[in-house]
Structure formats: structure tokens, C-alpha cells
Amino acid sequence: MADDLDKKMEPEISDVAEKAAEAVKEEAAVVEAAEEKAAETVAATAAAVTASAAAEKAAAKEAEAAAKAAKKAEEQAAKEAAKKQAAAEKEAEKAKIAKEKAEAKLEKKRQKKAAQQALIDACPPQYRPVSTSKYFWLAFLSALPVLGFIITLILAIIGRNRNIKNFEKAILAYYIIALILCLIAVIIVGIVLPHEIRSNILLALEQIIGSVKFG
């Protein structure tokens, strides 16, 4: 009877064993699939981490390169600014030196002029220097016909300033020399030369005076 029971139970046991084996297989497949998915996830995560690390490294390199470029540009700008400032300071120093030289030269001229003026003021009125413009107008007045001779004669005799007086005496000397030369010429023309030559000279003089007067 026991044998019969065993025979009856064998198919059921084999079914249970098969089902258990199938269940184990299914669980193994599920575990294997899970492991594959986990491996894929780990690979994907590793790839993402690697990509992120590469991106971070590239970003770090770019940031480092940008920092280097910025630092280099800043140093270059600082050098240019220092160079410009040095040039500006040099130009300012040159301008300052030129200004000081000009001021010193002007001050020297002022001192020289002041010293000359002091000497002029220290001179008595009759010995004080005469300006160039005053000499010019005195010469102009002395060159006037007849009136200039009278002015020259008066200033040469009764002039107060010794410089003006000497100047007019020099012009008066020219007048006297010219008058003497004219008298000599008249004597030569009137006495020494023959009558015909004298007549020709006088006629020529009359023609010259007539052309100047009317021509």
C-alpha cells in the first residue's frame, strides 16, 4: 500500500520539482536581468561620471586659460598704463623745465631792463639816453627843406639833452659840408668854366628843374 502511495505521489513530486526548478530558473533569470540592468545602470552612471569629469576638466582648463589670458591682458594693460604715465610724467617734467627756463630768461631780461632803467634814472636829464624812435623823428624833421635846417640849427645850439645836441650837430655838419660843396660847385660853374660850358650846364639844370616841377 505504501508502494502504491509512492507511485501515486511520484508524478506530483516531479511536477512540484519541475515547478520549483522553473521557479528557480525564473528567479535566476529575473536576478540575471536585474544584474544586467544594474550593470547597465552602473556603466551609464560611470559614463556620466566620466563625461562629467571630462566636462569639469575641460571647464577647468578653459577657466584656467581664461584666467591666464585675463591676467596677461591685465599685466599688459598695467604695463601700457605705466608706460603712458611715465611718458606723461616725462613730458610734464620737460614742460616744467622749459617753463622754468622761460621764466628765468624773462626774469633775467626784466632784471637787465630794470638795471638799465635804474642807470637811466640815475643819469642827469641832460645826459639821459634817447630812444631809437626819437632819433628817427629827429632825423625826419632835420631832412625837411629849409625848416629842417632851422630845427637842426636850433637843437644843435640850445638843445638840453647832450645826446640830441650832438646828433643835431652831426646833421648840421652834413648841412655845412653840403653847403660848402654847393658853393664850390657854383664857383666852379660861375668862374672857372668857360661861358659856353657854363651856359650848357645852367640850361641842363633848368631843364631838369622844369621836368621835375611840371613833368
Answer whether 0.85 is exceeded by the pTM: no
Report the alpha-carbon angle 195-199-204, nearest 5.
150
Quick one: cell of 173? Answer: 655838419
CA distances to 65, 80, 108, 158 from 72, in Å: 10, 12, 53, 90
Which three cell numbers mark 192?
Answer: 672857372
Amino acid at position 211, single letter: S
Q: Which of 117, 170, 116, 171 is nearest to 142 (CA)?
A: 171
Per the listing, cell 506530483 goes with: 12
Confidence of residue 214 (pLDDT cuts 50, 70, 90): very low
pLDDT tens digits, 57-94 = 888 888 888 888 888 888 888 888 888 888 888 888 89
pLDDT confidence of residue 13: 62
In the predicted structure, residue 4 carries a pLDDT above the cut 60: no
pLDDT grade, residue 8 (50/70/90)?
Answer: low
**Domain regions of the chain by residue span:** 75-122, 123-214
Rounded to 10 degrees, the C-alpha dihedral 187/191/196/198 comes to: 10
Higher-confidence residue of 126 and 11: namely: 126
- Flag whether pLDDT at 209 surpasses 90: no
C-alpha cell at 176: 655845412
**Residue 207 in this model has a pLDDT that exceeds 60:** yes
The least confident of 5-9, 32-36, 77-81, 207-211 is 5-9
Do the Cβ atoms of 167 and 130 come closer than 8 Å? yes
The Cα–Cα gap between 171 and 177 comes to: 10
State the alpha helices, DSSP H only, in the chain: 2-122, 132-142, 147-158, 162-187, 195-214
Tell me the C-alpha distance between 183 and 186, whole Å.
Answer: 5
Over 80: is that where the pLDDT of 16 sits? no
